Structure 1
Amino acid sequence: MYEVIGNIASRAFRVMWMLEELGQPYEFSPEKPHSERVRSLNPSGKIPILKDGDAVISDSTAILTYLADKHGALTYPAGTVERAQQDSLTHQILDEIDAVLWTAARHSFVLPEDKRVSDVKPSLMWEYSRNVANIMARAKGPYLMGDMMTIPDIILTHCGGWALSAKFPTDNAEFKTYLKNARARPAFQKLRK
């Protein structure tokens, strides 16, 4: 059985959602970043962490990719054009959405107060809005890759919720429809209860 270590309000949600989609049993072990247990498994102190037997995997995207490849679901096969396009979307979301939100979080509450630059948030909001439009222009159907939900959908949907709680722009109609569709999935709803 898998063990997911982290906080459900963090990127660990992505891993749990993936496992729910795959129908795989797992144990959730709530831990905050930098806890003693987390540091013993990942010296950076970052969550989430997935344990698969004695194997320890960190970084939510690496975990999602591992699980998708291992179970042959929510991904296209390695070496296909579709997989390259899927990976391209994944990296675009990480670079242009996740990183923007993480920068805003760091300058809002993560960094020590004397290291925060509060004036950066409006430019990050503008960048986020522009980047969401660019990603939506690439969408091929109800999900980013078409009719099949894949790894980038889990990441982007999670980021959409993060953005909402951080009061980032939510006026892109296409994105609203996309998020509503992704969040309606039974596996997502199970975790939201």
Structure 2
Amino acid sequence: MLTLYGSPKTRAFRPLWLLEELELDFAHKPVAPHDDALRKLNPSGKVPVLVANGVSVTDSTAILSYLADREDKLTARPGTLDRARQDAVMQQVLDEMDAVLWCAARHSFILPEERRVPEIKDSLKWEFERNLNRIATRLEDTAYIAGEDMTIADIVFTHCLGWAMVAKFPLENTAARAYLDRMRERPAYNRATGR
């Protein structure tokens, strides 16, 4: 039995979408970060948490990797150059998009008000746009961000693009916008957003 904890408005959307893509049976508990039930599974109180066979797996990327490897779907085989490319792209998206968006979120509403530096957001938007334009060049030659087949890297990239839109970050790159529209048409994506 698989149980996913976390609201779809958080990074929990990533494994939620993957679970739908894989058509796995699972329970979903849309709890907010720091919920009491969540702290029993992850002392940091962060989401998402996946409980698989009584074991808690934390961090959206770790959950994605676990599920994709377990099912041998939406991932390149470990030990291959395709897997190295997939992992490199996913790490680039996490470092250059997710981290920038997370920094902006922390300075918008997560940190205590006296610790926030709202002025940093202009710099973060500039950095995000520059990084996105560089990453999106991958879409010139391939259907998906890490190659011709959809992988978990696409889930992370798509989630970051959606997060950027909500956070009012620049998303002028036409290839990235077309990609986002196409990814949002996937039936599994729509099942996940409907939860």
**Distance in 1 separating the partners of 2:107 and 2:133:** 24
Structure 2 Cα separation of the partners of residues 19 and 191 of structure 1: 9
| Residue 76 of structure 2: aligned partner | 76
What code does the residue aligned with 2:45 have?
G
- Say what the alpha-carbon RMSD is for the aligned residues: 0.9
- Higher RCO (CA 8 Å, separation ≥ 6 residues): 2
> Percent of aligned pairs with the same residue?
49
Corresponding residue pairs, total: 193
Contact 2:6 2:29 in 1 (8 A): yes
Where 2:40 maps in the other structure, the secondary structure is helix
Q: Check the 8 A contact 2:8/2:193 in 1, yes or no.
A: no
Query: After the TM superposition, which residues 130-145 of structure 1 pair with which residues of structure 2 at under 5 Å, given as runs?
Result: 130-139=130-139, 140-145=141-146
Q: What is the CA-CA distance between 1:90 and the residue it aligns to?
A: 0.6
Q: Which residue of 2 aligns with 1:44?
A: 44
Aligned-residue offset at 1:168 = 0.3
Query: How far apart are the structure 2 equivalents of 1:183 and 1:177?
Result: 10
Quote the offset at 1:35 in angstroms: 1.3
> How many angstroms apart in 1 are the aligned matches of 2:149 and 2:97?
21
User: How far is the alpha carbon of 1:170 from its aligned partner?
Assistant: 1.4
TM-score by length of 2: 0.96
**What is the CA-CA distance between 1:53 and the residue it aligns to?**
1.6
Tell me the secondary structure at the aligned position of residue 41 of structure 1.
coil
The one-letter amino acid paired with 1:132 is L
Q: 2:108 maps to which residue?
A: 108
Q: 1:188 & 1:160 partners in 2: Cα distance?
A: 14
Separation in structure 1 between the aligned mates of residue 157 and residue 169 of structure 2, nearest angstrom = 14
Shift of 1:43: 1.0
Q: 2:48 touches 2:59 (CA, 8 Å); kept in 1? A: yes
In structure 2, distance between residues paired with 1:9 and 1:62:
18
Specify the alignment match of 2:169 in structure 1. 168
CA deviation map 1:34-62 (0-9, x unaligned):
11111111111110000112111000000
Tell me what 2:184 maps to. 183
Provide the C-alpha distance between the structure 2 equivalents of 1:55 and 1:115, rounded to a whole number of angstroms: 35
Unaligned runs of 5+ in 1: none
Give the match's secondary structure for 1:24: coil
Q: CA deviation at 1:192?
A: 2.3
What runs of 5+ residues in structure 2 fail to find an aligned partner?
none
